């Protein structure tokens, strides 16, 4: 308790709604003392934060699948932390936990949030803390339920995923392989493409910076595309739409190419391919599957353990670097799941 | 036989691929003698032709759900006719039939096409010949299977349909009402809107020419949109995307607003609403449901008989008017299912 009272909690708050790419002036940097936990509550020290494309959407006003981050609110972020003070029978000091810690060094969870299951103990035998933000975390669950529930891939079908070297993409492609599909990634640059094929075992990877994606799809998807997991939107979505098979499924997971655009979003001009091919385009929000996370995590932990699934995280250090580190996502500079290390432990 | 040999078959063929709205010079007008049926075949005299938005797509080159009409080929069209000569045990002279007669006065069907079921005898007790091109024909089947199989409406859900006074739209809205849904149409002009509400019993109809569709949706879909049956694409599709509910289903049946555009097709800029709402957009091609037509036709014929479903056809007269009559579809000038009467009978 005494320790906490003399400790400072550095926080990063949303100062204003960004236009286009968020700049440093869109954030405010605050510091406040760490309070003792309320009865039934805990205080968590942040170790790692997950930086995700979805964060950009949370910064915008307006209706979405989740309320926007309010002005002057601590920026929303999923993280891994360690319980440093507990008045809750559910958590002991030293427990490693996962939850919406926010971009701050310490996060308090009251009894009600704990009852609602907003803080989850993680099992380090299943995966490392960074893997718990990747394959075993929200990106992994997004890939799992997006591919399996929305995409419903059948063995020998061709699954294409954009953002293939990113957090969701690496899960989708590897899982597609495990389920007996042909997995073709789309990623930016030869290093990512090589890694996706050589290390993750995708059947092929199309470098969208090297030439037309449509040509890559022709070369690497000789039987067309049955499932497309879209993380990027824009021209790549349009290119894939020209190559889909009858009854294809397109999972709309994100549209990172459009998030920082100050122009109106570019809708998929080739959407009538859905008609021609009797195909389907469907959105996924991972929270809908929360009740089934444990089953999926157990399955994914098994793949990590037996080596059929690999993971890569790209770890930046220091909470102060958050504004610039976040931008790496939108410039395609991250290589693997982007994680911000706030403290060691 | 003798009769046939001295009879002339006037035909309209595709002379060249149109750019934008088809003009008269895109067609050629031919005449040839009517041959006697080949062994096992029949000759059908065309009475009525169905004019459909889909025809515009058939005139374009390139991969679609059906091969394009070739240059100099008789224009493809579904029609109702009467058998005037038969060497087939399956059909007798005088039988009323439906099939791909083409834009011509007489159509020959060989034994193979008859075996494949390309010619179907129609039962005038189930509906009039024009109804057999409307509620009981391809538009009705498109509405039926698009709404029921792809849209999967549940009682008390809100179903919106564009092109509400058109052939597919009138079926969709009335069927939605029959299935216990709130049915809201979108149509052009007060006369169509009034008819859709007063005669067909839709709960409401939005006149897209009178003001923003978005405002109309706010007013008439207070609980949001659960199913949207899209015949038009473009701005109306985008407007509906802003009002869909969680797990909404959007049936992509057509995009008449885009068919004659010489600009690139406008993709739905608001497609990320699919993500936010975990919603689905899926194409329908009616031919996929051919095996189930008889069941659907029987159901629809029941609704026609007991008056729960009404139909309206807009009948133009004379095969020579085909080029201009077809354009009425793209100008929204037809009021009900557009039919071309080629001969009386």
From 3.90.180.10, 3.40.50.720, 3.90.170.10, 1.10.600.10, which CATH number describes the A2-133+312-341 domain? 3.90.180.10
Nearest C-alpha neighbor of B41 from the set B124, B97, B2: B97
Contact of A283 with chain B, judged by CB distance below 8 Å, is answered with yes
A285 membership: H or E segment, kind and range: none
Confidence of residue A308 (pLDDT cuts 50, 70, 90): very high
What is the mean predicted confidence (pLDDT) over A85-111?
Answer: 97
Q: Each residue of B21-41: pLDDT tens digit? A: 999 999 999 999 998 999 999
Query: What is the distance of C-alpha B18 from the center of its chain?
Result: 21
CA–CA separation, A292 and B83 (whole Å): 61
Q: What are the E-state strand segments in chain A? A: 8-14, 27-33, 42-50, 79-86, 96-99, 106-109, 119-121, 158-162, 182-187, 204-207, 225-230, 244-252, 280-283, 313-317, 337-341
What is the mean predicted confidence (pLDDT) over B182-197?
Answer: 97
Q: What is the pLDDT of residue B3?
A: 61
Q: What is the pLDDT of residue B44?
A: 98
From the number of C-beta atoms within 10 Å of its C-beta (0-12, 13-18, 19+), residue A242 rates as: middle
Confidence of residue B181 (pLDDT cuts 50, 70, 90): very high
Residue B63 with chain A: CB contacts under 8 Å: 276
The Cα of A172 is separated from the nearest Cα of chain B by a number of Å equal to: 17
Sort residue A143 into left (φ over 0), alpha (ψ -120 to 50) or beta: alpha
Contact of B272 with chain A, judged by CB distance below 8 Å, is answered with yes
Q: What is the pLDDT of residue A3?
A: 61
Quick check: B271 and A268 CB within 8 A? yes
**Mean pLDDT over each residue of chain B, to the nearest integer:** 95
Nearest C-alpha neighbor of B61 from the set B48, B52, B71: B71
Confidence of residue B265 (pLDDT cuts 50, 70, 90): confident
Does residue B2 surpass a pLDDT of 70? Answer: no
The CATH homologous superfamily to which domain B138-287 belongs is NAD(P)-binding Rossmann-like Domain (3.40.50.720)
B198 membership: H or E segment, kind and range: helix B190-198
Residues in chain A, total:
345
Neighbours of B222 (CB within 10 A): 9
Q: What is the pLDDT of residue A259?
A: 83
Q: Each residue of B204-262: pLDDT tens digit? A: 999 999 999 999 999 999 999 999 999 999 999 999 999 999 999 999 999 988 888 88
Q: Each residue of A15-29: pLDDT tens digit? A: 999 999 999 999 999
Distances (CA, A) of B251 to A243, B148, B254, B261, B331: 21, 10, 9, 22, 23
Give the residue, A114 or A64, on which the prediction is more confident.
A114
Contact of B53 with chain A, judged by CB distance below 8 Å, is answered with no
Quick check: A265 and B266 CB within 8 A? no
Does residue A1 surpass a pLDDT of 60? Answer: no
Does residue A36 surpass a pLDDT of 70? Answer: yes
Contact of B288 with chain A, judged by CB distance below 8 Å, is answered with yes
Residue A168 with chain B: CB contacts under 8 Å: none
Does residue B266 surpass a pLDDT of 90? Answer: no
Does residue A87 surpass a pLDDT of 60? Answer: yes
Does residue A215 surpass a pLDDT of 60? Answer: yes
B162 membership: H or E segment, kind and range: strand B158-162
Quick check: B276 and A252 CB within 8 A? no
Quick check: B276 and A63 CB within 8 A? yes
Q: What is the pLDDT of residue A201?
A: 97
CA–CA separation, B16 and B24 (whole Å): 10
ipTM, two decimals, is 0.90
CA dihedral B130, B131, B135, B137 (to 10 degrees): -60
Residue A214 with chain B: CB contacts under 8 Å: none
Q: What is the pLDDT of residue A6?
A: 80
Please, are residues B247 and B277 in contact by the beta-carbon 8 Å criterion?
yes
Quick check: A258 and B275 CB within 8 A? no
Q: What is the pLDDT of residue B214?
A: 97
Determine which of B254, B281, B287 to mutate to test the interface with A (most A C-beta atoms within 10 Å): B281
Percent above pLDDT 70 for chain A: 99
Q: Each residue of A119-168: pLDDT tens digit? A: 999 999 999 999 999 999 999 999 999 999 999 999 999 999 999 999 99
Instruction: Identify the residue whose tokens are 């510091």.
Output: A31
As a CATH number, domain B2-134+312-341 is 3.90.180.10
CA–CA separation, B80 and B115 (whole Å): 19
> Quick one: CA dihedral A104, A109, A112, A118, positive or negative?
positive
Q: Which of A264, A272, A283 sits opposite B269 (nearest CB)?
A: A264
What is the mean predicted confidence (pLDDT) over B107-132?
Answer: 95
Phi and psi torsions of B33, nearest 5°? -70, 155
Instruction: Identify the residue whose tokens are 């555009």.
Output: B261
Q: Is there a common fold for A2-133+312-341 and A138-287? A: no
Q: What is the pLDDT of residue A52?
A: 93
Contact of B270 with chain A, judged by CB distance below 8 Å, is answered with yes
Q: What is the pLDDT of residue A266?
A: 87
Q: What is the pLDDT of residue A262?
A: 82
Q: What is the pLDDT of residue B6?
A: 80
Query: What is the distance of C-alpha B201 from the center of its chain?
Result: 21
Map out the domains of chain A as residue ranges: 2-133+312-341, 138-287
Percent above pLDDT 90 for chain A: 91
Beta bridge mates, B251: B229, B282
Does residue A251 surpass a pLDDT of 70? Answer: yes
> Quick one: CA dihedral A258, A259, A260, A263, positive or negative?
positive
What is the mean predicted confidence (pLDDT) over B298-304?
Answer: 97
Q: What is the pLDDT of residue B315?
A: 96
């Amino acid at each position: 308790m005494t320790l906490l009272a003399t400790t400072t909690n550095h926080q990063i708050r949303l100062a204003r709604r960004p236009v286009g790419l968020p700049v440093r002036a869109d954030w405010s940097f605050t510091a406040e003392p760490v309070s003792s936990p309320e009865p039934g509550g805990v205080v968590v020290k942040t170790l790692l934060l997950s930086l995700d494309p979805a964060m950009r959407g949370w910064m915008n006003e307006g209706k979405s699948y989740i309320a926007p981050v309010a002005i002057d609110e601590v920026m929303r972020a999923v993280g891994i932390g360690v319980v440093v003070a507990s008045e809750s029978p559910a958590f002991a000091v030293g427990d490693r936990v996962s939850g919406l810690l926010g971009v701050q060094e310490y996060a308090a969870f009251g009894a009600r949030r704990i009852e609602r299951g907003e803080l989850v103990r993680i099992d380090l035998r299943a995966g490392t803390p960074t893997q718990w933000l990747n394959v075993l975390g929200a990106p992994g669950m997004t890939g799992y339920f997006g591919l399996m529930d929305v995409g419903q891939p059948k063995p020998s079908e061709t699954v294409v995923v954009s953002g293939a070297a990113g957090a969701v993409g690496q899960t989708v492609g590897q899982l597609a392989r495990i389920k007996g599909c042909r997995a073709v990634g789309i990623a930016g640059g030869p290093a990512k493409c090589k890694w996706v094929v050589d290390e993750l075992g995708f059947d092929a990877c199309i470098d969208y910076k090297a030439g037309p994606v449509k040509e890559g799809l022709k070369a690497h998807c000789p039987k067309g595309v049955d499932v497309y997991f879209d993380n990027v939107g824009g021209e790549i979505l349009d290119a894939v739409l020209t190559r889909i098979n009858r009854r294809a499924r397109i999972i709309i997971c994100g549209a990172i190419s459009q998030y920082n655009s100050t122009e109106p979003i570019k809708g998929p001009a080739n959407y009538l391919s859905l008609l021609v091919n009797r195909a389907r385009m469907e959105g996924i929000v991972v929270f809908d599957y929360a009740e089934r996370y444990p089953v999926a995590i157990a399955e994914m932990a098994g793949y990590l353990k037996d080596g059929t699934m690999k993971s890569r995280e790209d770890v930046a250090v220091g909470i102060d670097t958050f504004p610039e580190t976040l931008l790496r996502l939108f410039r395609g500079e991250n290589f693997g799941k982007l994680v911000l290390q706030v403290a060691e432990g």
